[in-house]
Amino acid sequence: MSYQLNRIIVKGGVLSPGELKYICESVESLGLKTISFGSRQDILLPKKTKTKDLSQFDKLTILGTEEFGVENIVSSYVCADIFPSTSWLTGDRYLYLLEQFRSKSKLKINLTDPKQRLVPLFTGHINFIASEHEDYWYLYVRLPDWKKAEMYPALIYSWDLEKIEIAIENSLQEEPENIETIFELVSDAIDTNNRTVDKPLEVPFYPFPYFEGMNKIGVDKYWLGLYWRNNKYDISFLKEMCELCSENKIGKISITPWKSFVVKGIPKESKLVWEKFLGKRGINVRHSMLELNWHIPVADKEALNLKKYLVSNFDQNDISTYGLTFGITDYNKAFNYFTSIVVEKNKQPKMIESFQTRDTFNLLYAKNFDPNTRNYITHVQDVDKVELPGLLMELSQLYFDKLGSEIEKEAEPEIQKEIIALKVYQCKDCFTIYDEAFGDVTQNIAPKTIFNDLPENYECSLCEASKSSFEKVVLVK
């Protein structure tokens, strides 16, 4: 069974070698020899520690086992420069953006690039997702009591992100039930530099990336991904690694949501030094692909043993799981899944809790095996543990059978849509588009408002050119 652990907040999953070393020295002074990583890119202490003992470390935001009011912000900074990315969203840009989030948030915040696969897009309450327009973000809101995420009807400016988040958090006292209410409350509370949504968010499909080992960046740099099977990272190793980072002038270390971490920017001339360091420490950087892409609760021995059992069966049967991700969770908990396949443990019926019975499981998989669809399909229900390996192999085969063809089938309507001539109005000065289907929320113009019905004092939402500066154009979509 899992239990609540002390958490150290690591904003965006990014910290300097000096910060990580300070954390290691702090928890080491409490008698701990390891730390763990959480699915929200925070650091977990594998043993319960008294709150009074933690309070001495004033440089750290450490949450006790009884504290549930503060959440970590998740970011895809870890992917910048090493995986597919939106052109304007560089590593430096992430760092500037994360700096503006200063207050302790009660809501889970995600700050992500839709072109990467390593960090989930929709697992937060507030999900900022980069758009193609530089410094503008889609916002998907899923408050704690909402069943699904809803898109905010405007693009958010980079330097308004925290302001928007705080306004949404303040609006919770009004118990908003939908995104329209959220939009009204936020618009009344603060001034923002929003931009009109001119097209829906598109999340491209990419295979899930390999995130372990030494990998090349450009001509003269490398990045290193490290993963421990038991998610207990040795403090003495981490301290020595931080010193090596400092020697190599490496500024940041990034935690992933998969209980691993990444060091970027290792100089080419230091590659051998790092490999020697890892070898002397006996660090394995070539785990089987079968066991890397799993999300299981921290400190849950039953879930870890189940994973080992399933991975062992995959290995014995030479099963490929490339591109798939797996999660193990309990039934009837408010989880927002972010893996391709979910093994869901059923809750024991109350009337027989005093008796020893066998556990049963449900198997779910994401539509197209893509967690970003947020649409999960039940494959089987109430099956025994011994049935799981065969059923997971069956799902693996289904994934490879449909890989490409299913996604193409889903994309057919979009392809047809692209050849439709779309009539819009475009500003001649800055090329901003006014699409009648979306309206212009920045100036309280409702969707489906035709251009001729716009007030004469209407201005371009970006450059403030007059209405007369717009001309009708035909876009091929």
Closest by alpha carbon to 432, among 150, 136, 205? 136
Task: Give tens-digit pLDDT for 428-445.
Answer: 877 777 888 778 877 888
Q: How far apart are CA 244 and CA 370, in angstroms?
A: 38
Would the pLDDT of 477 be above 60? no
pLDDT value of position 310: 93
pLDDT exceeds 80 at position 299:
no
| Strand pairing class (326-330; 341-345) | parallel
3-state SS class at 325: coil
pLDDT of residue 413: 36
pLDDT value for 70? 78
Domain assignments of the chain as residue spans, ordered by start:
6-189, 213-289, 290-409, 421-476
Q: State the CATH class of domain 421-476.
A: mainly beta
pLDDT digits (tens, 9 = 90+) for 329-358: 876 555 678 899 999 998 776 655 556 677
Is residue 115 pLDDT above 70, yes or no? yes
Lowest-pLDDT range, 13-17, 158-162, 296-300?
Answer: 296-300
Q: Do domains 6-189 and 290-409 have the same CATH topology?
A: yes
Average pLDDT, the chain: 85
CA distance to 48, 129, 154, 289, 296, per residue, from 110 (Å): 27, 8, 17, 27, 20
> pLDDT for 221-242, tens place per residue?
999 999 988 889 999 999 999 9
Better pLDDT: 294 or 431: 294
Is the confidence at residue 71, as pLDDT, over 90?
Answer: no
Does the domain spanning 213-289 belong to CATH 3.90.480.10? yes
Average pLDDT estimate for 394-417:
62
Domain covering 6-189 assigned CATH 3.30.413 in the classification: yes
The DSSP string of 183-202 is HHHHHHH-----B---S---
Flag the least confident range among 287-296, 371-380, 413-422: 413-422
Q: Report the pLDDT value the prediction gives residue 430, as an integer from 0 to 100.
A: 72
Q: Where are the alpha helices (DSSP H) in 202-260?
A: 235-247
Q: Which has more pLDDT, 476 or 159?
A: 159
Residue in this structure with the two tokens 């923002």, named with its chain if needed: 192
Instruction: Give 402 or 277, the one with higher predicted confidence.
Output: 277
What CATH code would you report for 290-409? 3.30.413.10
Question: What is the structure's pLDDT at 1?
Answer: 38
